[in-house]
A and B are shown apart, each in its own frame.
Chain A
Amino acid sequence: MPEANPRHCVLVRVTHWLTTIAFFALLVTGIELVISHPRFYWGEVGNVNTASLFDIPIPSSRAGVKTGYDYVLPDQNGWSRSLHFEAAWLVVFAALVYGIAGLINGHFRKHLLPANFSIAALLQEIRPHMRPQSRSGSYNLLQQLAYLSVIFGLFPLMIWTGLAMSPAFTSAFPLAVTVFGGHQSARTIHFFCTIALVLFVLIHVVMVIRTGLKQNLLAMTAGESRDTK
């Protein structure tokens, strides 16, 4: 039986899981793509003949990249690139549906926009947050800030820096890449956004488990109301 007053409306639940699927597809394929060149640069160009900003200390799937390992991993870039972009389209569609609906039905205003924001309120929220025991019906200030920065900060930046690496896209919108200072800067920012999103997901999952895994999962799937049980 659908609940009369679900904690998460059906739209939030569906787009949440679509985004989850897309996120893991993007993460796995993104790692595969990085393995073919685990070096990062700043500015416009970067390659094995130029100095890197930093290297990831992993073996590569290309013999031409000197990694210090004496073996080369198998090339997985073909399917990885195809799946990366297919999952990116999925995330864009989910984001559009979620974003437009959230603006229209007041989801952002009612649930995510902090009612009274101040540094004092933020500090006050951090202390009890380290020992989460009970869960109130609505999001607390830290959650609101985390979700807002992921939804309106990291995700758009991720898609933007992804597009900024496309030679066809930047031929139509050169500003998309020049604002970052060049192709390699966009790639490096794309990588740092990944790290930030992975950290967010890790903390998110830990919090979901610590505040009642079963109840939280039911709320995000079947749509159980905040008042049940």
Chain B
Amino acid sequence: MSQSTRRAWLTALAGTTGLAAASRLASQYGLIPPFTNSLYAPGETLTYAAQRLITAQSMAREFSTSLISSLPVANGEPPNLPEYKKHQATGFSDWQLQVEGLVDKPGTFSMSRLKSFPSNSQITQLICEEGWSYIAQWTGVRLSRVLEQAGMRPDAKYVTYHSIEPGWLDTIDMAEALHPQTLVAYGMNGSSIPLGNGAPLRLRVPRQLGYKSIKYIHRLVVSDRLPEPNQAAGGLAFGYSWYAGI
């Protein structure tokens, strides 16, 4: 083996070992996104890893009340489901949020129980992936408090949240789920959330694009790994990336 061949082999070996070590470290620190189309895996991994590193402690921008948009976009109709209309008729007083999966106390949270917890308000911008945006005040209970109340187990890694509208669901990692601005929101601009904006409960994830803030949520599933794509995020079927902090 000539010296240059040996050097090439050693370089390749070091490179592979380095890559393997980097990938082990990255997955240990939660820097690898769970869902990526192989073609876009390099870009999505770089974006997710970079943003997980720089946003570890960061808070979504908040605005003054004077900047609240007077006409927030509903972007869609409320669910056309008999079950939803029944709740609508009773002012959503019997709406429940079911919590299941890796929790010690699976069960349901009533609207009044959710409102009995200390409330948090934020004036943040909802930024749609299409390019438009609006600013609104959201009031609710921190998702972290709901998870704590349900007795979330330490090995939990993801929270999937389901809309009552079939096919509308999404998943966030613990970095986002436990973030102080991630709210189970029941109020918008000082009153209940309007029908078109997600009444009565909407998961508000202000550091990610609007499609992660799912409306009409009624079920949370805590897990240590992501379920099958169709059980994790509705947008994946349409080629929408799982991570939407971008």
Contacts and interface: CB of A to CB of B under 8 A. Distances in A.
A110 B217 CA distance: 61
Contacts of A64: 75
A86 interface: yes
Nearest to A178: B61
B127 interface: yes
Q: Is the interface of A mostly helix, strand, loop or mixed?
A: helix
B241 A78 contact: yes
A196 to B, nearest CB: 19
Interface stretch (A123-131, A134-142, A167-175): A167-175
B78 to A, nearest CB: 15
Contact of B246 (A48, A50, A168): A168
Given A85-B44, A171-B61, A183-B127, A46 B133 contact: yes
Interface stretch (A6-14, A31-39, A112-120, A145-153): A31-39
B37 A184 contact: no
Chain A contact patch, size range: 35 or more
Interface string B98-110: 0000000000000
B240 to A, nearest CB: 5
Given A82-B40, A171-B59, A44 B135 contact: yes
Given A45-B134, A187-B131, A167 B69 contact: no
B119 interface: no
Nearest to A188: B131
Nearest to B76: A64
Max count, chain A CB within 10 A of own CB: residue among B55, B75, B133, B239: B133
B59 A50 contact: no
A200 interface: no
A194 B37 CA distance: 27
A19 to B, nearest CB: 16
B75 to A, nearest CB: 6
B243 to A, nearest CB: 9
A36 B131 CA distance: 8
B241 A81 contact: yes
Given A47-B133, A78-B235, A167 B127 contact: yes
Interface of A: 33-34, 36-37, 39, 44-50, 62, 64, 75, 77-79, 81-83, 85-89, 165-174, 177, 183-184, 187
18 contacts: A45-B125, A47-B73, A47-B132, A49-B69, A77-B240, A79-B239, A81-B240, A82-B43, A85-B47, A89-B43, A167-B60, A167-B127, A167-B206, A167-B207, A167-B208, A170-B61, A173-B54, A177-B61
Given A166-B51, A172-B54, 12 more contacts: A33-B129, A39-B131, A44-B133, A50-B71, A82-B39, A85-B47, A85-B246, A86-B44, A166-B246, A167-B60, A168-B58, A172-B55
